[in-house]
Structure 1
């Protein structure tokens, strides 16, 4: 059995990590096993499942990227059985793949999950340029979730495997069919139900979401905004909700395992992000037939053509509020959505087979 070493920050329920888990669940584990380098001693949301599936979680603790790189290099030298290192941390892949190269690892995969790192000041721009150049030089195999993500990290999509952020389509659709009243039953709530899923960080633009909530409240709309996720901005956002007297309308749900059920019973999902790659949560929302309002800073690739994604500017909240007050139901049938998802490469089982072939061919 071949063991693949994935380099992640922490295996929480975030976009890239969820994508990796979708592939891990479907890959032939009699031939391939996944192990995970993390950079924290804290327990990740997926850690228990990883251990159940036979994987290992190897924490490397260091206070800066250079020390992490040196410790990863030392680990790889002591564990030469890892012939393939698969890195998922965008610009930081440069450090991790350098560690792999200097440790003698022959196959080094850089995986791009985003179209930007969001940094704009001069020092960070210098780091970005170094990291982009280094990634392109030290990666022996390149994967991206979409065309724009490939362009960002590798400068081209040529010789890059485009592996869309796939989901377990049939399982999600089966759960969704019996979950249309889930929010009403779980929260005793039959208002306009709006969902936002993602880590509580600046790039996800929850400040804009709270402005939407303020506008809806001023219009005397009976609504609830469910914010799913955790992150560094959580306490500040909760304080803003209290200050704005929105506690009856905005609910923080933390990390959840019932995302499919929430999506199947919501009226809309919103994603006013400052930037994104190809977020798996938008594949999930379209799978269950949920209409999404998405920032026009997000790659147009996320619209799978089933009438479920509307792009709006984040310059003003008015258009968002107006759109939320219209119908959010899908105009496509389940069979039509299934056909589109499969034909465009969003089936996790199919993509796991493709990734298995890549690993075995190296």
Structure 2
């Protein structure tokens, strides 16, 4: 690469920047370590966006390009996106999503001379399955490189076509267990030593299934009153879940934190994490929880690929009582006992952020 010329990447996430979620977190983490003297990194904010979140990207020298809503005003979005691509003449398009509807951006880029078009699959289903099915033959001819966060997410979107897995790597030092941080955070949360702190991180929507967590908690407090559940995240269904928690008499046992930037700190204070998703690609949060040494109880529809430590448990969503029993059975574990094993297994299983950044950069630069 010539020193005088930066490699220009336009990145799009179909889930947008309206709130913090897995895909945008991955983009922020990876791009934070890219050399800004070599790369110009532009990220599309389509429609509404969280201004404080956008500011986090800008602090890392990731340029935000604000466009009309992809969902609410598609034609205007396409027009503005085409104009941006013409003006900037990007070397690469990097688009994240879970359906062949990404063909829109891929073919715009192709028509306008963008030679590297990388698509990254993050889930095992999508919202608009009929349109996805129609567009698949076109989609498979639109990209130059196919990536996926895991085997299941790759097979879902690319079927029999070739793809490469780049797992959602994490900064191990950011999430590893620290006894002093735990004591400090629990004190801040007014948690005494005897209270079992149960956590969940996710957007409030049908997929993440927080309603199920309320039913589990209702069962659990019948046997153990020394429990506090922390639901970390935001979303369209948050208000509904808050109202439901009051109706179920759970107000004293549950805390809605909203969208927060100190999740690694909060994980230090937790004793266990739950993920009752109805479907998932490869959940980023489960990787973080394992690095933090936390027992994880997750739904059995989630891919087994995400589990590389022996304290991840898969349960059916059929019975809340099974989840309650498993919580009681597992309880609180000694998180210091497997520090070295966690580090080794995280690297061995492909979740080391630094190694994955090198792999990703090669996807862009091999033809440059």
- Per the TM superposition, whether the score is higher than 0.5 is yes
Secondary structure in structure 2 of the residue aligned to 1:269: strand
Q: Distance in 2 between matches of 1:41 and 1:262?
A: 27
1:324 maps to 327
Deviations 1:313-359 (CA, angstroms, capped at 9, x unpaired): 00110110011112342686111110111122211111112212222
- Please say which of residues 318-327 and 25-34 is displaced more in the overlay: 25-34
1:48 aligns with 2:39: no
How many residues align? The count is 353
1:13 maps to 20
1:161 maps to 164
Q: Judge conservation of contact 2:196–2:332 (CA < 8 Å) in 1.
A: no
Tell me: CA distance 1:65–1:308, structure 2 relative to 1, closer, same or farther (3 Å). Answer: farther
Q: Distance in 2 between matches of 1:208 and 1:289?
A: 24
1:86 aligns with 2:91: no
Q: Which runs of 5+ in 2 are unaligned?
A: 1-5
Equivalent of 1:294 in 298, 305, 310: 298
Tell me: CA distance 1:45–1:330, structure 2 relative to 1, closer, same or farther (3 Å). Answer: farther
Deviations 1:92-137 (CA, angstroms, capped at 9, x unpaired): 42222122122222211110011112x4xxxx43212024333322
Deviations 1:261-281 (CA, angstroms, capped at 9, x unpaired): 222221110000000111111
Secondary structure in structure 1 of the residue aligned to 2:140: helix
Tell me: CA distance 1:342–1:246, structure 2 relative to 1, closer, same or farther (3 Å). Answer: same
Equivalent of 1:242 in 239, 242, 246: 246
Tell me: CA distance 1:40–1:330, structure 2 relative to 1, closer, same or farther (3 Å). Answer: farther
2:206 maps to 202
Q: Distance in 1 between matches of 2:316 and 2:33?
A: 37
Tell me: CA distance 1:185–1:134, structure 2 relative to 1, closer, same or farther (3 Å). Answer: farther
Q: Distance in 2 between matches of 1:154 and 1:94?
A: 13
Deviations 1:164-199 (CA, angstroms, capped at 9, x unpaired): 0011012322x6343222442121123111101011
- 5 Å matches for 1:271-282? 271-282=275-286
TM-score by length of 2: 0.90
Secondary structure in structure 2 of the residue aligned to 1:46: helix
1:179 maps to 181
Query: How far apart are residue 84 of structure 1 and its match?
Result: 0.4
Query: Stretches of 4+ moved more than 4 A in 1?
Result: none
Q: Judge conservation of contact 1:193–1:226 (CA < 8 Å) in 2.
A: yes
1:342 maps to 347
Tell me: CA distance 1:186–1:32, structure 2 relative to 1, closer, same or farther (3 Å). Answer: same
Secondary structure in structure 1 of the residue aligned to 2:231: strand
1:25 maps to 32
Tell me: CA distance 1:42–1:170, structure 2 relative to 1, closer, same or farther (3 Å). Answer: closer
Q: Judge conservation of contact 1:69–1:98 (CA < 8 Å) in 2.
A: no
1:2 maps to 7
Secondary structure in structure 1 of the residue aligned to 2:207: helix
1:193 aligns with 2:197: yes
Q: Judge conservation of contact 1:264–1:289 (CA < 8 Å) in 2.
A: no
1:254 aligns with 2:258: yes
Q: Judge conservation of contact 1:229–1:255 (CA < 8 Å) in 2.
A: yes
Q: Distance in 2 between matches of 1:11 and 1:236?
A: 19
Deviations 1:210-260 (CA, angstroms, capped at 9, x unpaired): 101111233353211100000000111111111112110111001112211
Tell me: CA distance 1:138–1:177, structure 2 relative to 1, closer, same or farther (3 Å). Answer: farther
